[in-house]
Structure 1
Amino acid sequence: MITMKDIILDGHPTLRKIAEVVPLPPSQEDQQTLKDMLQYVQDSQDPEKAEKYGLRSGIGIAAPQINVSKKMIAVRVTDKAGTLYEAALFNPKIISHSMEKAYLTTGEGCLSVETTIPGYVPRYARITVKGYDVDGNEQKLRLKGLPAIVFQHEIDHLNGIMFYDHIDKQKPLAPIEGATPVDR
């Protein structure tokens, strides 16, 4: 079981490394890590379990955040229409994206960043992600709105990029021109 003590914090060198591709078919160890990551996200969203185990609520996690420099992410997020997007993927890649941008009006947060960093993070409004599920089967997901933003945030972790790297340092809270504001 992954707990808060397993999550490394901003400044740890693993968060800035480019993660390694997971060989497929995945090993049992890699499968277990991916399952544990999804379990963390699920448990962190359950108020009773979150309190019992002292978990910070999250909607996504990437393997580098638990000091495993491998291309693995787990996401569990609901869009505006109430549709649940839950995925645990090996080697996720954005294979296409819109030209249109979007950003979260609340800014972004991260399990590895304990402070609030104000600012808008420009993201693609729509993306298609390809990856492999826990059994090594190819998955393709077409995403927009909050789910698209969350997947981009987690995939950034696999490339050593933190969300605040995208924030305009001069005008962090200036609306992003031509981008769609997204409410949680």
Structure 2
Amino acid sequence: MISALLLSGGQDSTAIAYWLRPEFGITVDYGQRPSQAELNAAKQICTDLHMEHVVVKADCSRLGSGDLSESPALSVAPSSEWWPYRNQLVITLAAGAALAHGAQELLIGAVANDAGHADGRIEFFKAMDTLMSMQEGGLRVRAPAIELNSTELIKKSKIPMEILCWAHSCHRSNFACGQCRGCVKHKNVMFELGVSPY
């Protein structure tokens, strides 16, 4: 089965890339503030792992909310980085690219830590799998690390630090701000792994 990975360039999708070695990684630039850093990280990870890198660009910045966008968080936002229907959006965009490249499955870098968002839960990914598989192309959607937290995933993947260090987790900038939820998670995971992020 030909697999594609939705590769944001963050720690989780980077660990999955190393662990499962899909044929290619798809990075979606949907208008998020740190898009250039995510693209750079994903490109380097694909180079290191000899994977094809596919970039999808669709400027949806006017739909954004919170840290990832230039707009304040909406009142319904469960956290500062929440962007309405983001996972549904990027999965849909990546799925089109995956089919165009002959993939039968799209891997998603979601982990147990993501369950604070409705679109980070196992039920959401099962629903997306059902929705995609019933359409032309029959693409399957799978979140192979959904029952692991980020630290467990990285340990299971056995990814070397020289590859993991390319990951970009900041929600606000192309340079790590050190303050957002993405930067804090990145730092905490590194401490749990026994690596000082400084």
TM-score range, shorter chain: under 0.3
TM-score (norm 1): 0.27
Which one has the bigger helix percentage?
Answer: 2
Q: Which structure shows the higher strand fraction?
A: 1
